[in-house]
Amino acid sequence: MWKPVTRSESVPLNGTLACRHQGWRILVVRTPAGLFALEDKCPHQEQTMGGGLVHEGVIECPWHSVAVELATGRITNTMGFLGMPPVRVFPVKEEDGSVLVDLPDGPPPPPPPLADD
């Protein structure tokens, strides 16, 4: 379902905005190519990617430099991060000054268990 998550002016060009909606952690990114929305959990340690460097259709996690393709969620750098699952990508659009993200019904799935659980 399409859910309003923020106002359009809250997401600067080549910038990010981390927000939450009904338990989902969402990262909205604006580039010259348009808006993108990803689940805001770096696949490395599940930290926010908000504030990460945005360039050429990719965002770099500000914590450990995992590079994620905005359109697909695919990991693009080879610094030991290849093979990690892609970041979930959501459809996004702007209407009447709001950013809307197409989120699944219900809360997000629980995180996978830790290796020593």
Domains of the chain, each with CATH number or no CATH: 2-95 (2.102.10.10)
Q: Which of 40-49, 74-83, 86-95 is predicted with the least confidence, judged by mean pLDDT? A: 74-83
Does residue 79 surpass a pLDDT of 80?
A: no
Residues 6 or more apart whose CB falls under 8 angstroms from that of 84 comprise 43, 44, 66, 75
> What is the chain's length?
117
Contact 103, 84 (CB under 8 A): no
pLDDT above 70 covers a percentage of the chain that reads 90
E strand or H helix that includes residue 102: strand 98-102
Structure tokens at 8: 């359009």
Provide the β-strand partners of residue 98: 7, 95
> Which of 6, 39, 36, 35 has the alpha carbon at shortest distance from 23?
39
Q: What is the mean pLDDT of residues 24-47?
A: 92
Structure tokens at 105: 């019904």
Type of residue at 49: M
Structure tokens at 84: 């990690």
Q: What is the pTM of this model?
A: 0.87
